[in-house]
Amino acid sequence: MFVPAALIFALLSVVPKFNVRYLMPASIAMPLLWAAGLSGAWARRSSISRLAAVLASLLLVLGSGYAIGSMYWDARLTRADFRSAVRSITADMKADETVLLCSGHLYPVWQYYAPTVPYVALPATRVLSVSQRLNLDVSRDLNVALAGKRGAWLLLWQDAVADPMGAVPFLLEQKGEQSERDFWQVKVRHYSFPAPPSWPEHPAPQAPLSIDFAGIIRFEGLSRLDSSRLALFWRAPRHPDAEYRAQLLIRDASAHEVARLHFAPAGNAYPTNLWRPDELTFVPLSVVLPPAQPGGLYSLFLGLYRADNGQPLEVLDLAGNPQGQMSLIAKIELPGTTAAVDVAAARDFYHLEPRSDTWGSLDLLGAEACPALQLPPGARLSLPLLLHSTAPVVEGRLEARAVWRSETGSTIVAPLPTILLPASVAADQSLIIWLDAYLPAAATPGPMSLELKASAPAAPLSGGWTQLCSVSVAAVHRDYAAPRVRWPSQARVGDAFSLLGIESPSNSLTAGQSVALDVAWQAVRTPAANYVEFVHLIGPDGRVWAQSNAEPLGGRKPTAGWLPGEVVVDHVTLQVPQDAPAGTYRLEVGMLDPETTPPARLPATDGSARIPGDAVSLGELPLLR
């Protein structure tokens, strides 16, 4: 038995990477066991035993033949083409270039096919292991490996395990021109550097930021890679307890949501629950506008949410107070996508109904349908429209109006905001524009027609008004009598609101229970937009222990529909947390502009004095333990 064991040891000792699961089929013992079984069956001289031996031998030969044939001719079992990849590198490699292996555990392959050519293994490991993952700290190894070099050859195999974020190619592409060669299951990338490259010992984003998502993950900033690619950087102060995903919201200059991207913060190969504490992670991201969007300045908003249930993480300020679930991270110029637009695909993307309206050289090819539900006065409409130019259009615009009948039957026409096209639209361009309007506050219940007409001062467009769609206006109750309130106020919020005060039937607070409040407002004039009311319960420690952020009356009376002098009483319920401390609590009230991110507070004044924080402080309620 010594000889077979010695031969097995001798054969396997020259293989630097050998998994124990291959021991039996790769050793001499396997065919010896087969031979012992077959010879034993044949030696019995029984016809049945010998027939079994023949059948077993035939099965063994056929199975081995099928396996050997599959190894050479079945594409599903084709092995990685290391030989061609290595020969490709060595044939074109220059004296001032270096070979990088990622993952580094494939170095035996390189030593076999190119034993005289030096290499750098990244990471320098004999066995592939998820515990030796690369990150941006690999810049130190690259600084050493590429000192004085003008080029690098990167051989990639199983790199998704060793370098799940792609840190090595990410750093290399920042310094040189990249070309790629694909081989079966193997990739080769060549980088040509205009000068010997070097990287900071601790790479950092070009535009550093610090955005805290619920104390779990912190956004560290971003780098602009090219006109449509960014790199987003993150850090987790502690090991994240779950897998989180990110969403990037793209808004145009008028705050329309143009696109929303969902992605893993460090790529799909490196989920957040594998991150190391305080490790700088990143993800390259392509930011491309959807079809028919004009080039220009776009705002990027970032958020995080749990992958298992979609629960968003709150953005926290320095004091730990929630600031919403999305945060502005950048405003960037993006190239337009208005040329050679597939009209049918654009309609599908924006959920538009086909249209065929023409104003000379400007065609309306699609529009979103008006809501089918009844809408109260002041309700906001934001309808995307797909336009196409058959000839150049300079300073084009779409005029809009609302038409309805009064209670006496007369026709009322109210202008809506004019839609401005880009200053100059070339011929054969398709672009998305938006009709943004609030239903007139004075609208009476019943049908209302929305109409459009195109014009261009430099070259007048033919065609008149065309009906876009019809909406149904709901009846609303209006009250102009000021109610009695427990805590009156004379504060002004913005230029359109007067806070009359707060009423509450409760004389104290109870931990774990709710408190009901009535917040009374009066319109000084019709507000220009729909605002959100905030009500905060501030504890003795200065923290916000309960809050409400919502449109008055749950959106049934949007503020853009309030008439001058109208009084609106909003019913608010705040839930007091079970762990709220004893002490005196006060109420804060104000208005937010939801079109800004984070929502900006409207300025609040008391007489001629600006109220600190633009939050009107009213009333006190004790909480006893």
| CATH code, domain with 273 | 2.60.40
Residue 463 and residue 392 in one domain: yes
pLDDT value of position 27: 61
Domain assignment of residue 200, yes or no: no
Confidence of residue 63 (pLDDT cuts 50, 70, 90): confident
Residue 154 and residue 219 in one domain: no
| CATH code, domain with 504 | 2.60.40.2550
Residue 494 and residue 617 in one domain: yes
- Dist CA 11 CA 125 (whole Å): 22
Kindly give the residue spans of alpha helices, DSSP state H, lying in 74-226.
82-92, 107-113, 139-145, 159-162, 167-173
- Is 60 exceeded by the pLDDT of residue 21? no
Locate 595 and state its tokens: 């079109």
Contact by Cβ (8 Å): 602, 592 = yes
* Overall number of domains in the chain: 5
Question: At 307, phi and psi to the nearest 5?
Answer: -75, -25
Q: What is the mean pLDDT of residues 550-579?
A: 96
Residue 426 and residue 516 in one domain: no
**DSSP reduced 3-state for 449:** strand
**DSSP reduced 3-state for 294:** coil
Which of 316, 334, 352 is the last residue before a domain boundary?
334
Contact by Cβ (8 Å): 560, 527 = yes
Locate 531 and state its tokens: 């605002």
Q: What is the mean pLDDT of residues 67-74?
A: 75
Domain assignment of residue 478, yes or no: no
Contacts of 105 (CB under 8 A, 6+ apart): 17, 121, 125, 126, 127, 128, 158, 162
Residue 468 and residue 549 in one domain: no
Per DSSP, 78 falls in state: P
Domain assignment of residue 479, yes or no: no
> Got the DSSP string for 147-162?
TT-SEEEEEESSHHHH
Q: What is the mean pLDDT of residues 30-43?
A: 75
List 497's β-bridge partners, or say none: 493, 523
Which of 161, 192, 223 is the last residue before a domain boundary?
192
Q: What is the mean pLDDT of residues 201-216?
A: 95
Using the Cα atoms of residue 506, residue 510, residue 513 and residue 519 in order, give the sign of their dihedral: positive
Q: What type of residue is 206? A: Q
Residue 73 and residue 93 in one domain: no
Residue 405 and residue 315 in one domain: no
Domain assignment of residue 197, yes or no: no
Q: What is the mean pLDDT of residues 67-86?
A: 80
Contact by Cβ (8 Å): 419, 435 = yes
Domain assignment of residue 457, yes or no: yes
Domain assignment of residue 481, yes or no: no
Per DSSP, 64 falls in state: H
pLDDT value of position 70: 75
Q: Is 148 left (phi over 0), alpha (psi -120 to 50) or beta?
A: left
Q: What is the mean pLDDT of residues 287-296?
A: 96
Residue 359 and residue 461 in one domain: yes
Locate 199 and state its tokens: 């990287």
Contact by Cβ (8 Å): 533, 591 = yes
Residue 264 and residue 293 in one domain: yes
Higher pLDDT, 174 or 63: 174
The angle at the Cα of 257, spanning 253 to 260, to the nearest 5 degrees, equals 125
Q: What is the mean pLDDT of residues 153-175?
A: 96
Domain assignment of residue 480, yes or no: no
Higher pLDDT, 281 or 8: 281
Contact by Cβ (8 Å): 550, 520 = no
Domain assignment of residue 495, yes or no: yes
Q: What is the mean pLDDT of residues 352-376?
A: 95
Percent of the chain predicted with pLDDT > 70: 95
Which of 37, 54, 77 is the last residue before a domain boundary?
77
pLDDT value of position 25: 59
Q: What is the mean pLDDT of the chain?
A: 92
- Is 80 exceeded by the pLDDT of residue 348? yes
Ranges 123-132, 391-400, 519-528: which has the least confidence: 123-132
Confidence of residue 23 (pLDDT cuts 50, 70, 90): low
Confidence of residue 52 (pLDDT cuts 50, 70, 90): confident
Q: Is 97 left (phi over 0), alpha (psi -120 to 50) or beta?
A: beta
- Dist CA 354 CA 510 (whole Å): 57
Contacts of 207 (CB under 8 A, 6+ apart): 221, 222, 223, 224, 330
Each residue's pLDDT tens digit, 217-253: 999 999 999 999 999 999 999 999 899 999 999 999 9
pLDDT value of position 59: 85
Locate 513 and state its tokens: 């229970």
Count of C-beta atoms within a 10 Å radius of residue 326? 18
Confidence of residue 492 (pLDDT cuts 50, 70, 90): very high
- Dist CA 110 CA 153 (whole Å): 13
Residue 139 and residue 238 in one domain: no
pLDDT value of position 152: 98
Question: pTM of the full predicted structure?
Answer: 0.81
| CATH code, domain with 417 | 2.60.40.770
Name which of 357, 431, 336, 419 is nearest 389 in CA terms.
Answer: 431
Residue 618 and residue 492 in one domain: yes
Name which of 92, 154, 143 is nearest 119 in CA terms.
Answer: 154
- Dist CA 227 CA 438 (whole Å): 36
Domain carrying residue 560: 487-623
Residue 355 and residue 449 in one domain: yes
Ranges 322-331, 379-388, 509-518: which has the least confidence: 322-331
In what helix (H) or strand (E) does residue 546 lie, and over which residues does it extend? strand 544-550
- Is 80 exceeded by the pLDDT of residue 10? no
Confidence of residue 307 (pLDDT cuts 50, 70, 90): very high
